[in-house]
Amino acid sequence: MKIIPTKLIYGYSTGGLVSQRNNNTQNRVLFTNCISPPDTINISFKKSSEKPLYISDLREIPDLHCGCCGKTMIKNSKVNHFMEQKIYYPAAISLKRIKQEHYFNESKASPAEKEAYAFLKTYASIYPKLTISEILSKRNVKMRRQQLKPEVSEACEDIRELTKLIAHNSKYMVNEISKLNPDFHKVEKKVFKELQWLSKKYPNLTFNDILNIPQIYNYHLRNLESKQIAVLNEVSKVANYLDEPTKEKVLKATKIAKKIFKEESREIFHKRSRVISEYHNILAEESDRIEIQELFEILDYLPNSSTDVDAFMIKGAQKSSNSIVEILIGRQRNTFEHVKPHRRENDNGPNSIYNYIGLCGKCNAERQREEYDKFIKKHPEMPENEQLQINQIIYYINQGILTGYDDYLPKIAKALDIESKGNIKINIDKLDLKKAKENRKIRQDIYVENKKAKKQKHENITI
């Protein structure tokens, strides 16, 4: 079964507010156990051409801990590199395969699509090892693309998305993910173990192929439906304690919900969100009552792909194999979290480093625009883990590695204090900007000396 989503990039699941993370003390280890800051700097520039002299983006700090759950996050650039180098096929291969696998039918393609395909094929022959995304990011290709008609340029994007559907088999995928060694959350860890087991049984099939095998799909669907009905039954029990008119409304919504979950076709999506919307619509006039608010707290326990393995597998069956990997790894990605929500009604937070902390993709998607004082009730470990993250940032500033963040810490500490209504208090006493300045100069001097030595060595060889 081939599923062609319109967009594949970082489709995090955002439904529900119930967290099933493992909050044991291993997730909240002290900073001193995570990094041992040296008394003096010992810098190696053996690969200075590959590594930047400084870090200017907190998403690129190695092994930074999520400010919410405390999980070790994967650098943003490392996730991108993993997808481009390990998961997506080079353009020279993927352009051929989208034809072979009938994603792209040239005989039925529009003139713009044909021109776009020829354009991409030309550059694929020039850069045979690069993916479509890597090719389109090259400066000379960007300049040439600007000369294309708008509809042709747009068709290039459509073809790029099609090439992302060409997937490696499950055995390869599992091996590559294992090499990345992500610090998975509880649900994602279970999902990955399930995918590992399935890859041993069906090594030559893709994830999408496997999840659409009837017995596998139906197994997870039955499990999911039983959990959904269990939650709805709890709602019905609560209804018995309500006044008769409200009870009838709740039971009406529950009847509709059960029909959506059990009778609608598997091809109909977003069932969970539609069920919750039904309750909201039917109980709109009762929404301020405490009993109804408690009822919606029960509905939050309806499983979704972020909180439940079976829900993930059912959702994964509707996505491409590459998208499944993207979601799994994306939930461990180091992302910018707006402390003051960027899209809060009438009170937008800015897109600025002074409004950013680092949260993993999963925690970021869960928080959305929820007030921190409410969010912390579900994540009481957040104040401790945010301090853990700030300690790591202080270390990288003091060592002269993280630049452009000298004014960051006082401002972000104030923002966190305000947005959390005093629940997150950050200590930045160990910040030493004088030391940071000295260490930046040391790094720069070593870098310059190494460049001179390398240049001198090259001149001697030439002579």
Residue 356 lies in a domain: no
The residue segments making up the domain with residue 106 are 89-163
Query: Which pLDDT band holds residue 234 (cuts at 50, 70, 90)?
Result: very high
Indicate whether 49 pLDDT > 60.
no
The alpha carbon of 401 is separated from its chain's Cα centroid by a whole number of angstroms, namely 25
The answer to whether residue 63 sits within a structural domain is no
Say if residues 133 and 169 touch (Cβ distance below 8 Å): no
Domain final residue, candidates 291, 310, 329: 310
Residue 332 in any domain: the answer is no
Q: Where a domain ends, among 310, 345, 374?
A: 310
Q: Is residue 234 part of a domain?
A: yes
For residue 333, what are the β-bridge partners? 74
pLDDT attached to residue 84: 95
Are 361 and 247 in contact by the 8 Å Cβ rule? The answer is: no
- d(CA 404, CA 25) in angstroms, rounded, equals 33
User: What pLDDT is attached to residue 216?
Assistant: 97
Cβ contacts of 335 within 8 Å, gap of 6 or more = 59, 76, 358, 359, 360, 361, 364
Q: Is the pLDDT of residue 398 over 80?
A: yes
Least confident of 157-171, 285-299, 449-463: 449-463
Same domain (yes/no): 157, 239: no
Q: In the listed set 143, 163, 183, which residue is the last one of a domain according to the structure?
A: 163
Average pLDDT for the chain: 87
Task: Assess if residue 32 is contained within a domain.
Answer: no
* pLDDT score for 265: 80
